């Protein structure tokens, strides 16, 4: 059995987020289709495109690490996406739908921020500067997306939900 060290933690976590991103890239179009606010729809569509690039970056990370790109089932992201689907379903047609979708999308972003923040530090510690850089690029995209979602919630989605 391989040693349970920082390398194996890094490898497992890389597989976790690789699995998660490939789930997210499929979930985002459904969320975008459900969104009523044009800005929210656009933000989710744009982030889907970004996510495709993030998946490619992860493939480069695997390459730098010297392992083949491989996912490992991530029950956390499955649960987060499932909750988003529940909101889509239960709030269909309701003025609160967009606020619910923002909250679901932010749960995804926060999961990703946790994972990429850790992976970036571990890559640095393992001497993989290029991998750390790639992970940091994605981390910035996740932060920006989260900030944009907060803005959309504050500017429109939450009031719309409350006014109903």
Residues 126-145 that bind Fe ion (CB under 5 A): 142
Token pair for 83: 């909750």
C-beta closer to Fe ion: residue 24 or 128: 24
Task: At 143, list the tokens.
Answer: 């932060």
Interaction of residue 61 with Fe ion, rule CB under 5 A: no
Contact region with Fe ion (CB under 5 A), list: 3-11, 67-75, 76-84, 112-120: 112-120
Q: Which is nearer to Fe ion, 54 or 88 (CB)?
A: 54
Q: Decide: 61 and 11 in contact? Cβ < 8 Å.
A: no
The correct pick among 54, 87, 153, 157 for binding Fe ion (CB under 5 A) is: 54
**CB nearer to Fe ion: pick between 129 and 144:** 144
Among 61, 102, 112, 134, binds Fe ion (CB under 5 A): 112
Name the DSSP class of 70. -
Count of residues engaged in binding Fe ion, rule: CB under 5 A: 5
Q: Shortest CA distance to 60 belongs to which of 142, 8, 108, 123?
A: 123
For residues 100 and 46, the answer to whether their CB atoms sit within 8 Å is no
In this structure, what token pair is assigned to residue 57? Answer: 């970056």
């Amino acid at each position: 059995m391989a040693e349970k060290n920082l390398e194996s933690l890094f490898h497992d976590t890389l597989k976790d987020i690789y699995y998660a991103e490939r789930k997210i890239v499929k979930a985002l179009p459904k969320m975008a289709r459900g969104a009523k606010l044009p800005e929210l729809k656009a933000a989710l569509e744009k982030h889907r495109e970004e996510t495709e690039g993030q998946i490619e970056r992860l493939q480069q990370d695997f390459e730098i690490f010297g392992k083949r790109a491989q996912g490992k089932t991530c029950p956390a992201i499955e649960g987060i996406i499932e909750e988003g689907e529940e909101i889509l379903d239960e709030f269909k047609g309701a003025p609160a739908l967009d606020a619910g979708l923002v909250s679901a999308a932010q749960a995804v972003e926060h999961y990703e921020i946790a994972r990429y923040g850790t992976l970036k530090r571990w890559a640095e510690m393992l001497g993989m500067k290029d991998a750390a850089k790639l992970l940091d690029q994605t981390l910035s995209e996740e932060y920006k997306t989260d900030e944009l979602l907060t803005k959309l919630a504050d500017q429109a989605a939450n009031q719309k939900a409350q006014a109903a």
